[in-house]
Amino acid sequence: MGHDENRQLEAGQLEPGQLMPAPSDVRRPIRISLALSAIAGIAVIVVYLVFVRTKWGQEVDDLAFEGRAAVSPQATQRLNRMLNTVTESSLFLLGGAIVFIALAQRRLRLVFVVGTCMSAAVLTTEVLKLHLLTRPTFDDVQGIANNSYPSGHATIGMVLSLGLVMVSTTRWRKVATLAAALLATAFGTAVLATGWHRPSDTFGAHGVALMWFAAGHAVLLWSDHAHPYRYGIAGEQDRPPSRTLLVMAVLALGGFTTFALIRSLDTDGLRAVAYAGWYVVTCLAIDAVGIAVVLVFAVLTGDRARRRRDAGFVPVETPAAT
């Protein structure tokens, strides 16, 4: 233990076993996270101005929207049933399960940040769609007349995905990232296939979710530096993660996923769908953007874990009794 740590420990500024921040510059990763949040927010505005406020954008949007007619009625019904399972109560259940995963790890800051990011993103989407943004009407443009930008269900799918990545431990981050990517792409394409939303609505939803979670990640980086605490070092007062809470959270997430999949099936089983050209291109674009958002955030989260483990904190030993 260094002289500075000894002096602070003797002065009562550090508790035995507490951690001091190592002299590392956290300003760069914080700036990166905030820049990513700003870019995501700007993207939400740009997509709206291009694909909602202009006739050309609406025509391009509706090409894919009309192409969904290639989806079989059976597939549409299955996707409708899956989306209908996402209600306020199920959102509360799934969001609560993600918060419980963080709570089970005794990561109270993470509990606050992930809960705030999920709630704020969904609220932002609803305020934008219902109160702030409007959709002009152009001649020869078909489709939904009222504003549907951004998509609430696509936002829910993405915030649950990013929330899962944010609360995952290093050991399970790869699995969580894969599950998150599947969830985000499933919601993003389902709202188009069922005719609930246009493609731009999903892109806007992804931007809203990333904007809040990137900002939340910056808050976590700042708190790591400004208010360091014990991390990764076993001590007498350390408590292991609550297995009961972890099991409950996993069961809630797995149970809901199974329920949604069962509801999306019928006696005919799964069936191949013939896709229209522009529709399938748009679906691939939605999938690519959704996966990219999840992967970028997973990289940010992994970098924070590495900094905390390798460079962000230095263990302070308890002085031997004399």
How many residues does the structure list for the chain?
322
Is the separation of the CB atoms in 68 and 192 below 8 Å? yes
Please, which pLDDT band fits residue 40 given cuts at 50, 70 and 90?
Answer: very high
Please say if the pLDDT value at position 90 is more than 90: no
Most trustworthy range by pLDDT among 62-66, 158-162, 224-228:
158-162
Say whether pLDDT at 246 is over 60: no
Q: Which residue has the tokens 């209908």?
A: 84
Least confident of 44-48, 254-258, 288-292: 254-258
Beta strands in the chain (DSSP E): 19-21, 313-315
CA dihedral 102, 104, 21, 227 (to 10 degrees): 70
Residue 268 DSSP one-character state: T
Q: For residues 75-94, b (16+ Cβ closer than 10 Å) or e, as one string?
A: bbebbbbbbeebeeeebeeb
Q: Which of the residue ranges 68-82, 114-128, 135-149 would you say has the lowest mean pLDDT?
A: 68-82
Asked whether the CA dihedral 165, 169, 174, 176 is positive or negative, the reply is negative
Give the residue with greater pLDDT, 314 vs 108.
Answer: 108
> Is residue 113 pLDDT above 60, yes or no?
yes
